[in-house]
């Protein structure tokens, strides 16, 4: 796999090799999505499935001042947090002959700020168990703030805005996508309900 990652930035290449080094050449690669990758994967894939990851939950735990945040109006970015329960999302299968190009694209997008700890994670799908690359919380990163109280999280999402739009828009897109996929997530539903009562709703 190391040879496949030449297009990845030098600072991240070592991490990529460490995570994907045991992935056999010539094999397809599964990518787990729980946030914006669900509606905007940005890479070519051969198959998509619903996928459940045990002992993880989607949580807004990364404070950012780029993208949908700024210095004056910081935003919260979603991550996959180790926590009791189950997170349902989507798993995308990248065909073996596309892994090189598509992994490089994905890495540049998801690892730009270094806020994630990529890992190969076992999960279940209706068609059977798989292991997929997932971008989990990096608790040692300066942007990591952990799970804030729900009201504080909602307030920051309601006010966050940057060059890519508002944090509120992201949450609405997330809630809409989960509803379309018939995925129940009480945490996201509660945040969505709270921001509709926040200023600017």
Q: pLDDT (tens digit, 9 = 90+) per residue, 12-62?
A: 444 454 556 566 677 899 999 999 999 999 889 999 999 999 999 999 999
Q: In whole angstroms, what is the distance from residue 78 CA to residue 84 CA?
A: 17
Beta carbons within 10 angstroms of residue 48's beta carbon? 16
Q: How far apart are CA 156 and CA 37, in angstroms?
A: 22
Which member of 47, 81, 102, 110 is catalytic?
110
Q: Could you read off the pLDDT of 100-126 as tens digits, one per residue?
A: 888 888 887 777 677 888 889 999 999
For the beta carbon of residue 184, count every other beta carbon within 10 angstroms. Answer: 10
Q: What is the pTM of this model?
A: 0.86
Please report, rounded to a whole number, the percentage of residues in the chain having pLDDT higher than 70: 85
Told to judge if 47 belongs to the known catalytic residues of this protein, a careful annotator would answer: no
Which of 3.40.50.280, 3.40.190.10, 3.10.490.10, 3.90.400.10 is the CATH number of 2-146? Answer: 3.10.490.10
More confident residue, 143 or 25: 143
In this structure, what token pair is assigned to residue 80? 């996959």
Sequence-ordered list of residues with C-beta below 8 angstroms from that of 10, at least 6 positions apart, any chain: none
Q: How far apart are CA 66 and CA 104, in angstroms?
A: 21
Residue 92 corresponds to which tokens in the numbers above?
């995308």
- Residue 65 is given by DSSP the state S
Using alpha carbons only, give the angle 136, 23, 55 rounded to the nearest 5 degrees: 30
Look over the chain and give the mean of its residue pLDDT values, rounded to a whole number. 86
Helix (H) or strand (E) holding 78: strand 75-94
Structure tokens at 38: 């669900």
């Amino acid at each position: 796999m190391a040879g496949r990652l030449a297009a990845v930035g030098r600072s991240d290449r070592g991490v990529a090799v460490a995570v994907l080094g045991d992935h056999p050449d010539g094999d397809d690669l599964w990518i787990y999505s729980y946030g914006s990758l669900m509606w905007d994967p940005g890479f070519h894939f051969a198959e998509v499935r619903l996928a459940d990851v045990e002992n993880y939950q989607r949580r807004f735990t990364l404070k950012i001042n780029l993208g949908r945040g700024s210095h004056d109006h910081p935003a919260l970015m979603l991550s996959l947090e180790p926590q009791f329960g189950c997170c349902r999302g989507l798993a995308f299968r990248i065909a073996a002959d596309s892994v090189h190009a598509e992994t490089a694209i994905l890495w540049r997008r998801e690892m730009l700020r270094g806020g994630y700890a990529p890992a190969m994670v076992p999960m279940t799908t209706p068609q059977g168990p798989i292991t997929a690359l997932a971008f989990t919380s990096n608790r040692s990163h300066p942007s990591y703030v952990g799970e804030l109280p729900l009201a504080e999280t909602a307030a920051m999402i309601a006010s966050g805005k940057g060059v890519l739009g508002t944090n509120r828009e992201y949450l609405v897109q997330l809630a809409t996508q989960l509803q379309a996929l018939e995925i129940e997530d009480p945490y996201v539903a509660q945040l969505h309900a709270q921001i509709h009562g926040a200023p600017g709703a």
